[in-house]
Amino acid sequence: MSSIVSVAAEVNAQALMTRRRCELEKNKSVEHRAIDRIEELEDSYRELLEHQEDLRSLMNGIFKGVFIHRYRDRVPEIRAVCMEEMGVWLRENPASFLNDEHLKYVGWMLHDKQAAVRLQCVLTLQKLYVEKDFISRLELFTSRFKERILCMILDKDSDVAVETVKLLLLIKQQTEEGLSEEECAAVYPLVFATHRGLACAAGRFLYHTLCSVLDGRSDKCSVSVLRLLAHFFIESEYHEHAAYLVDSLWDVAGVELKDWELMTSLLLQESGVEDKLESALIDIMMCAVRQASEATPPSSRVQRKNLASREKRLQAQERRRITNHFIPVLPQLLAKFSADVGKVSCLLRVPLYFQLEVYGTSGRLEKSLDLLLSQVCDIMLKHREECVLEACVRVLCALCSDCYSFCGRAERAVSQLLDSTVEKFSSNLAEILQGSADEDDLYGAASSLNILAIFSSARDLTGRNLFEFCFQLLKMGIETREINEKLMVPALKCSVFHLFWKGTKIKQHTPARDKAELKRVMKALHSFCVVCQSCLSVAQSRIRNQAFVCLCDLLLVFGKLCEGDGSPLQLFSPDDSLKAEMASFIIDYVFSEPDEDLAGEEECEEMKMAALLQRRNQLAGYCKLIIYGVLELRAATDILKYYNKFYRDFGDIIKETLSKSKMISSVESARTVCLCLQQLFSGLEQDRRDEELSEIRLLAKKLAMNFSINLRLIRKPLLALHQDGIRFASQGLDKGDLMNLSFLEILSEFSFKVLQPECKQLSLYLRRVFASVINSEFVKMYERSLTSGSKETPAAAEKPSRKRRRTHSLTSRLETPAVTTHTRRVDMDDDFTDGSVLRKSVIHSRQQSSPFSQSIQSHLSTLSLGHEDASEDEEPEIEDYDDEDSELGIALPSTHGSASFLEDLFE
């Protein structure tokens, strides 16, 4: 068909040319007119018209006889080929095909359930909208199917979404009123998508839209683009994702984004710009600096592992440009914005992308280094916000690296800063300990201690003996109950980092010195844990949370393992009171519902997410102590109790803890599950007994699903769980107490995974233990669950079943498609699964069709063609089309990196 269309297009062109030549010859004067030539051209034109008619009849026959039926073929590849060839016909012979009668098929197939077909339709339309001569003929199609095309930017298939955005850009560029402002606004948020191809396509769309509103003056083009980008970033809802916006625009707007001179001149000009615009411009500039120096997209977007040599060379050149430009300018920027927390913390990231060795090449650059050090030290003394202090310490530590020739200058500046800070803190602390401190002394001590705490996380400050000062401060606050939150939190941080640095130094010393030093460290550790334990019950939430984090980290480093040998430093064993206090903290402050009043009025969504993230970190820290053996495995019962109630917030952490616990001991892990249910059962309230019992059964059902589907591997753990449950249910029988007997109802939730030999063993054990109450409804119900829920042994399950005779009718011999089930193979080496329900794979099979069945199939196809031909002009109901692929398939980036968040918690 495509070949015929090509021939028809050529015949049409020849006929048009012949007609024109004939008219030119007729328009000549009589004396110059060639009658023979006119007759020859007229004969040729009539012959070409006959050829046109023959070709038109042939094309019409093929189109109605084949295309109209096969563009809805059951095979997606055939439908895609139909759309691809339709595009060829529309371009090759627009006179015959580029009309609404033929374009409607492409529009209808935009709703196809197969991504390959939808993609081919979009590619076909792209090639049409490129041609300006076709735009007038596409106006009706655009107005009719534009809504569907806009929906496809959120297609499940990323390739379809990318090409759709490109198509929309062509529609906007080629048509005068192709897309309205509201329709364009639907594309803009895709610049923040995690799929880089889609984000770059949306970035190109955004860039051309911004450029279209400019007045075309080249001298102000870059300035206008930067201002428009900043305004767009401010008005968007994703203010924390400038890196995604920069990466999306990098390929198309790289010239503007790498214009460091223009950006810094806008920020340093005396008149200045709006405050919000300044913040957005600084954020965009810093993300562009990172992108240029590292040549990598944001972390959640797919990136290549290795850069090409040319890209590495360009990256090095850009890094040199950044270094040479920002070395003299950065101190000016820091001086101007030193009072603004957000702006200065953002600007302090610039030196991390420098080629820092440049500072030691000339005296002029050393002066710039002194200015930078002076500005950073002044900023540290001005601010108390952690983000600013951490940014300053990160810069100072980078400049103090031994690999640079100028590190001595940076070390002197840092030493002077630390000396003055320690001296100021000591003088203020003396006033505080004597009880004669005023508000200025408290503020000065808190400011100094904040700086020292941040430095302690990056540098070894044990030689300054800060632990003694901080411990005195903490002890006085606990004893007098005059707790100052701004002093206690940095004191806790400073003390815990002091102990960590001491532990690191012990590993580097000789064994002779290790014992005495280790003894002093363990004594300080014990005293500090007592203080932290006291802090867990204070009213101030920041102090409580910091004390709990310190305890989790210290016990993980210094805590003695329950089983096996750990590090030589792991000599500290937490006592029962500390374990109970930490468990109470988890129950009271992690597994607790947020205050409804605060959640409804005062607390915004961002604060809710921050609070949830903090609680997840606290729970993960406690779970690490269980997984690594610092706490007994049965300490997990306090966590498993809330598995069902807080599944949405902490389900992944609790499931991971349960999965890891089986690696320690599968039997003990199962007994821990049973102990958790026993504790819940023992705490039942009489007035709400039935309601709470149903909740416990639901929890038991959920915990049972975490056992592996490989029943052979979980035989011992399940047997131990049932035996413990039966023993618990039998408590008090000798005294006539039947209160625990209903626990068998909860235990029956685990019966469906018990194999038949264990069921018989448990039934005998049940009859022996409950001989006196064998007729109780709970005992009978549990025994029935063992009988009905028992599974055959693997050997019995493999016994082949007897084949049934089947009768073959006429239709059953017709060829049927193979039914395949794609499953993921999982190694069953563990006793528990991660909670996912695995299915057995189905063997691929296909019936072989006989020649007679093929003839029947061909006859049925002929009948279907005749039926379809009668309704060839009917348009499908697009509005009610069930488009499974039109669901939202584009993921926006998360502020806390949810994809790898659980792995980060358990590192």
Q: Residue 800: which pLDDT band, with cuts at 50, 70 and 90? A: very low
Of the candidates 654, 641, 579, the residue with the CA atom closest to the CA atom of residue 615: 654
Structure tokens given for 176: 């005068």
DSSP letter string, 345-385: HHHTTGGGGS-GGGGGS-HHHHHHHHHHHHHHHHHHHH---
- Does 842 score more than 50 pLDDT? no
- Please state, in angstroms and as integers, the Cα–Cα distance from residue 338 to each residue in 276, 346, 392, 417, following that order: 16, 11, 12, 18
Lowest mean pLDDT among 351-365, 601-615, 653-667: 601-615
Which whole number is the average pLDDT over 702-712? 88
pLDDT at 899: 38
Which whole number is the average pLDDT over 329-336? 94
Structure tokens given for 280: 């957005």
Structure tokens given for 381: 């003394």
pLDDT at 536: 92
Question: CA angle at residue 688 from 682 to 689, to 5 degrees?
Answer: 45
Axis-axis angle for helices 242-249, 221-235 (nearest 10): 140
Best mean pLDDT range from 162-166, 659-663, 879-883: 162-166
Phi, psi of 499, rounded to the nearest 5 degrees: -65, -40
Q: 755 by DSSP, 3-state: which?
A: strand
Q: 300 by DSSP, 3-state: which?
A: coil
Of the candidates 315, 350, 317, 318, the residue with the CA atom closest to the CA atom of residue 333: 350
Question: For residues 816 and 728, which has the higher predicted lDDT (pLDDT)?
Answer: 728
Looking at residue 240, the DSSP 8-state letter turns out to be T
Query: What is the per-residue pLDDT across 10-65, written as a single tens digit (0 to 9) for each?
Result: 888 888 888 887 777 777 776 666 777 777 777 788 888 888 788 888 888 989 99
Q: Going by C-beta distance under 8 Å and a sequence separation of 6 or more, which residues neighbour residue 148?
A: 107, 110, 111, 878
Average pLDDT along the chain: 82
- Does 783 score more than 60 pLDDT? yes
Residues counted in the chain: 907
Asked if 626 and 636 touch (Cβ cutoff 8 Å), the reply is yes
Lowest mean pLDDT among 135-139, 484-488, 835-839: 835-839
Question: For residues 32 and 678, which has the higher predicted lDDT (pLDDT)?
Answer: 678
- Please state, in angstroms and as integers, the Cα–Cα distance from residue 18 to each residue in 15, 23, 50, following that order: 5, 9, 14
Best mean pLDDT range from 194-203, 219-228, 868-877: 194-203
Percent of the residues in the chain that have a pLDDT greater than 70, as a whole number? 82
Place of tokens 């400038």: 242
Alpha carbon distance 99, 93 (integer Å): 11
Q: Residue 642: which pLDDT band, with cuts at 50, 70 and 90? A: very high
- Tell me how crowded residue 467 is: count the other CB atoms within 10 A of its CB: 24
Which whole number is the average pLDDT over 863-879? 37
Cα dihedral 392, 398, 404, 407 sign: positive
Of the candidates 667, 666, 676, the residue with the CA atom closest to the CA atom of residue 645: 676
Looking at residue 748, the DSSP 8-state letter turns out to be G
Place of tokens 């929890």: 699
Of the candidates 355, 330, 356, 354, the residue with the CA atom closest to the CA atom of residue 343: 330
Cα dihedral 373, 326, 385, 400 sign: negative
Of the candidates 477, 603, 476, 613, the residue with the CA atom closest to the CA atom of residue 543: 477
- Does 886 score more than 70 pLDDT? no
With 0-12 / 13-18 / 19 or more C-beta atoms within 10 angstroms meaning exposed / middle / buried, residue 485 is middle
Question: CA angle at residue 701 from 724 to 788, to 5 degrees?
Answer: 80
Which whole number is the average pLDDT over 369-394? 93
Q: Residue 876: which pLDDT band, with cuts at 50, 70 and 90? A: very low
Asked if 264 and 214 touch (Cβ cutoff 8 Å), the reply is no
pLDDT at 95: 84
Structure tokens given for 570: 């792991």
Lowest mean pLDDT among 232-241, 634-643, 756-765: 232-241
Of the candidates 100, 152, 98, 147, the residue with the CA atom closest to the CA atom of residue 127: 98
pLDDT at 23: 75
- Does 864 score more than 80 pLDDT? no
Phi, psi of 422, rounded to the nearest 5 degrees: -65, -40
pLDDT at 315: 87
Asked if 225 and 268 touch (Cβ cutoff 8 Å), the reply is no
pLDDT at 776: 87
Query: What is the per-residue pLDDT across 551-590, written as a single tens digit (0 to 9) for each?
Result: 999 999 988 877 666 666 777 888 999 999 999 999 999 9
Lowest mean pLDDT among 177-181, 602-606, 760-764, 785-789: 602-606
Question: CA angle at residue 220 from 216 to 221, to 5 degrees?
Answer: 55
Alpha carbon distance 340, 279 (integer Å): 10
Asked if 168 and 186 touch (Cβ cutoff 8 Å), the reply is no
Place of tokens 């002197």: 412
- Please state, in angstroms and as integers, the Cα–Cα distance from residue 318 to each residue in 212, 292, 495, following that order: 29, 6, 42
Question: CA angle at residue 410 from 404 to 413, to 5 degrees?
Answer: 170
Alpha carbon distance 292, 315 (integer Å): 6
- Does 348 score more than 90 pLDDT? yes
Lowest mean pLDDT among 129-133, 337-341, 796-800: 796-800
Alpha carbon distance 856, 796 (integer Å): 44
Of the candidates 684, 662, 683, 663, the residue with the CA atom closest to the CA atom of residue 673: 662
DSSP letter string, 261-275: HHHHHHHH-SS---H
Query: What is the per-residue pLDDT across 463-500, written as a single tens digit (0 to 9) for each?
Result: 888 999 999 999 988 888 777 888 999 999 999 999 99
Rg (CA), the chain: 38
Q: Going by C-beta distance under 8 Å and a sequence separation of 6 or more, which residues neighbour residue 736?
A: none
pLDDT at 215: 57
Percent of the residues in the chain that have a pLDDT greater than 90, as a whole number? 48
Question: For residues 67 and 480, which has the higher predicted lDDT (pLDDT)?
Answer: 67
- Please state, in angstroms and as integers, the Cα–Cα distance from residue 537 to each residue in 457, 533, 587, following that order: 26, 8, 13
Question: For residues 47 and 864, which has the higher predicted lDDT (pLDDT)?
Answer: 47
Of the candidates 173, 87, 99, the residue with the CA atom closest to the CA atom of residue 141: 99
Query: What is the per-residue pLDDT across 586-605, written as a single tens digit (0 to 9) for each?
Result: 999 999 876 554 444 445 77
Question: For residues 362 and 537, which has the higher predicted lDDT (pLDDT)?
Answer: 537
Lowest mean pLDDT among 1-15, 114-128, 298-312: 298-312
Q: Going by C-beta distance under 8 Å and a sequence separation of 6 or more, which residues neighbour residue 580?
A: none
Q: Residue 287: which pLDDT band, with cuts at 50, 70 and 90? A: very high
